[in-house]
Structure formats: C-alpha cells, structure tokens
C-alpha cells in the first residue's frame, strides 16, 4: 500500500490553498530554491570526488567582500543560487554574502514581486573537515514589483520577511523553513529527489542546560556575557544551581538546527576584538532569517540590547551581535545587558572566577 508522505511541493500547494488570493508565485520561488539546494547538496556530498574542496584560488587569493578567503564551494553555491533562481520570474533582485552589490538580473529574466537574500554556504571553515554546512535564505517583498530592485529596496528590517529558511548539508540534507506559521523541517529523500516533511512544527524548549559560544574570544566579551557564561560554568554550585553542557560547531546552520531540536542558547555577542565590527554575523542573510525561524519555533533572538528583527538595516553586509535560543535563557542574558547598561554591578562580578588569576578575568 502506498503511504502518502508530504512532499515540499504538496506542502506549498496546501499552504497556497489557505490563501485564496495567492498567485502561485511564492510556491514557484520555493521550488526553484529547493532545486538550487539539491544541486548544492549534491556537490557538497561528492566533495573531493568532484574537486570541490579547498580554496577558490589555489594561492588563496580569492577574497569576498567580507575580506574572507572564498572556498570553491562558496563560489559554486553562490553561482547555483543565482542561476537557479534568476529564471523563476518571481524575483526583482538578489543579494548574497559573496557579492558586494545587489545582483542585477539578466535582461531576459522576468521581474517578479520578491527579493531573495542569502548566505550561499554557511560554515565554510567546516567544508574541508567534512562537518555540516548549509545555505541560509530570507525572502522579502519587493517594494517595486516587476522592476529591478535597488539597494534601498533590500534594507528592510527582519520583521518584514515573508519567509526564511536554511538548508543543512549534513548526514542528511534538510530544509527548514518558516512563512510565519511555525517552523517545518523537510528531509531530502535522494531516491525520489524530493524533500519530505519529517519535522512538522518544531518547538524550542524554554529551558535548557546547553550553551554555545566561541570561548577563544572571552577576553573581548562585555561584562554581561562574561557573567552569564561564568554562571553556566559554575554549574550546580553556582547561582544557576544546575550543570551546563557546552557546544561550538562554528557552523551557524548546525547550531540553529541543534537548538531547534533540543533547545540551548547560541551567543556570538558584541565584543571588542575588532572595534569596526559590532558583531561577527551578518544581519540580512544570517541573523534575520535565523531569528525568524527561532521566534517562530517559540524561542527568542536579540543583539543583547534589542530584538534582532527590529534592527533597521543601513547596509547589505551589516554585522550584528547575535544571541538566540531557548526563551528563558535569552531573556536572562538580555536582562544582564539591561542591568549593565543601567550601571548596576551584580554581585557575581566579585566572584573568584573573575579574580586576577581566573579564566574569566574582568578587564
């Protein structure tokens, strides 16, 4: 007996039926996005077999607008995202982590009513060590549908996103997305070449005992983050009264999926490492789409000072501090930021962990 499973195609049609006025453009766009993701997944999966590992230029000279060395897979993924989506007819422009300016659609491509912003390959440092990487995307409404999009058209806060999602190229290839009605996860069934709904309505538990932060930056953190991490490390014997576990994959997509699955808090906070950069992660194609997913799954996302999706973008490649995950933990860390901003010194800063001999010395 045939057991019917919900494919991504069926899912988008069903969603469309819920909106009687829908034109089908959005489903068409998701379809071309899914095709791009399948192509990238195939190349990531084959890796060295198709010569896809390593830097884009053998001497490491290919550098993107972020000043980061481009991997071959960064370049290939960017190209696939552009070429598979430009023809959909549903976009009036695209912007990518790997390109300085807004991508101008070729003259022969029809202009549509959406804008697509993406990080074609997130977690690039993990490619050569065969760990999970992914693609992050955000869909906005084009202020001037049918016309070429300008840079200003893209500078919309995260609250304006109509859809956001990520693809994971890990042990299995997954697509996780939200259109503002919760978060649904699909797994690629390679035998039939279709995404199947395997993780409907994902929810993040409000409580957690797992945190993720790159602790090599500890000396650059602000006091609220130092305080929060110190309290986690103090475990049962500290003010939290419970032991915490720590994870750092250095792949935002993988950390996000872990948090969507079993909770936790992710922190790439503001630090003083490079005063020109208020954070490590990019607002438009990393922080906003991830925040939309997290909030839709019942979690929270903040810069420490404000809700990420409320930040008014001023630049395509703008960076922000990013703290997200289980609601109670994110709220706790936000309250530490607020206390710090108000000038109140919490008692825990006098704890031995912050003494001159300690790991978490205050500066």
Ligand X SMILES: O=P(O)(O)OC[C@H]1O[C@](O)(COP(=O)(O)O)[C@@H](O)[C@@H]1O
CA 42 vs. chain centroid, Å, equals 21
**Alpha-carbon span 2 to 27, nearest angstrom:** 25
Q: Least distance from C-beta 344 to Mg ion, angstroms?
A: 35
> Is position 33 annotated in a ligand binding site?
no
Q: Rounded to 5 degrees, what angle do the CA atoms 129, 132, 138 make?
A: 135
> Is position 152 annotated in a ligand binding site?
no
Which segments of 170-276 are extended strands (E)?
173-178, 183-189, 194-199, 210-213, 245-246, 265-268
- Residue 98 or 329: the one with the smaller Cβ distance to Mg ion is 98
For 310-339, letters b (16+ CB in 10 Å) and e give ebebeebbbbbbbbbbbbebbeebbebbee
Give the binding site for ligand X (CB under 6 A).
68, 97, 119, 122-125, 214, 250-252, 280
Q: Least distance from C-beta 216 to ligand X, angstroms?
A: 8
Q: Least distance from C-beta 230 to Mg ion, angstroms?
A: 28
- Partner touching 212 among Mg ion, ligand X, none, CB below 5 to 8 Å by kind: none
> Is position 263 annotated in a ligand binding site?
no
Asked if 55 is part of the footprint of Mg ion (rule: CB under 5 A), the reply reads no
- Residue 124 or 161: the one with the smaller Cβ distance to ligand X is 124
Nearest to 97 by CA among 68, 129, 125: 68
- Residue 26 or 292: the one with the smaller Cβ distance to ligand X is 292
Kindly state the DSSP code that residue 319 receives in the 8-state scheme.
E
Q: Least distance from C-beta 72 to ligand X, angstroms?
A: 14
Half-sphere CA count of 102, side-chain side, radius 13 A: 18
Q: How many CB atoms lie within 10 A of CB 243?
A: 13
Asked if 119 is part of the footprint of Mg ion (rule: CB under 5 A), the reply reads yes
CA 193 vs. chain centroid, Å, equals 25
Among 122, 255, 271, 329, binds Mg ion (CB under 5 A): 122
Rg (CA), the chain: 21
Q: Least distance from C-beta 68 to ligand X, angstroms?
A: 6
- Partner touching 295 among ligand X, Mg ion, none, CB below 5 to 8 Å by kind: none
> Is position 122 annotated in a ligand binding site?
yes
The closest residue (CB) to ligand X is: 252
- Residue 74 or 230: the one with the smaller Cβ distance to ligand X is 74
CA 202 vs. chain centroid, Å, equals 16
Q: Least distance from C-beta 52 to Mg ion, angstroms?
A: 15
Binding site for Mg ion (CB under 5 A): 97, 119, 121-122
Annotated binding-site residue numbers for Mg(2+): 97, 119, 121-122, 286
Question: Which amino acids are annotated as binding site, given as ranges?
Answer: 97, 119, 121-125, 214, 286
């Amino acid at each position: 007996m045939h057991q019917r499973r919900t494919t991504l195609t069926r899912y988008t049609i069903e969603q469309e039926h819920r909106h009687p006025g829908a034109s089908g453009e959005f489903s068409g766009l998701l379809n071309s996005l899914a095709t791009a993701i399948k192509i990238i997944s195939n190349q990531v999966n084959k890796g060295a077999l198709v010569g896809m590992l390593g830097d884009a230029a053998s001497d490491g000279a290919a550098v993107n607008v972020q000043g980061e060395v481009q991997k071959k897979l960064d370049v290939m993924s960017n190209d696939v995202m552009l070429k598979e989506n430009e023809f959909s007819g549903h976009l009036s422009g695209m912007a990518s982590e790997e390109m300085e300016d807004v991508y101008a659609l070729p003259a022969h491509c029809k202009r549509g009513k959406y804008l697509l912003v993406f990080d074609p390959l997130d977690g690039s440092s993990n490619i050569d060590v065969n760990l999970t990487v992914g693609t992050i995307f955000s869909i906005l409404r084009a202020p001037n549908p049918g016309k070429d999009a300008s840079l200003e058209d893209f500078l919309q806060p995260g609250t304006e996103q109509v859809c956001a999602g990520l693809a994971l190229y890990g042990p299995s290839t997954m697509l996780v997305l939200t259109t503002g009605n919760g978060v649904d996860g699909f797994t690629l069934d390679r035998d039939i070449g279709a995404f199947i709904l395997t993780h409907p309505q994902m929810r993040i538990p409000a409580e957690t005992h797992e945190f993720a932060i790159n602790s090599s930056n500890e000396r650059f953190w602000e006091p609220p983050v130092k305080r929060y991490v110190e309290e986690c490390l103090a475990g049962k014997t500290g003010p939290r009264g419970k032991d915490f576990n720590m994870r750092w994959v250095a792949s935002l997509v993988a950390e996000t999926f872990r948090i969507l699955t079993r909770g936790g808090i992710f922190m790439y906070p503001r630090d003083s490492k490079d005063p020109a950069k208020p954070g490590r992660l990019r607002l438009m194609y990393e922080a906003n789409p991830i925040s939309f997913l997290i909030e839709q799954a019942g979690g929270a996302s903040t810069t420490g000072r404000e809700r990420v999706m409320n930040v008014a973008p001023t630049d395509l490649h703008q960076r922000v501090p990013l703290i997200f995950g289980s609601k109670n933990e994110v709220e706790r860390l936000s309250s530490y930021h607020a206390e710090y901003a108000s000038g109140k010194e919490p008692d825990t800063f006098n704890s031995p962990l912050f003494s001159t001999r300690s790991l978490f010395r205050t500066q």
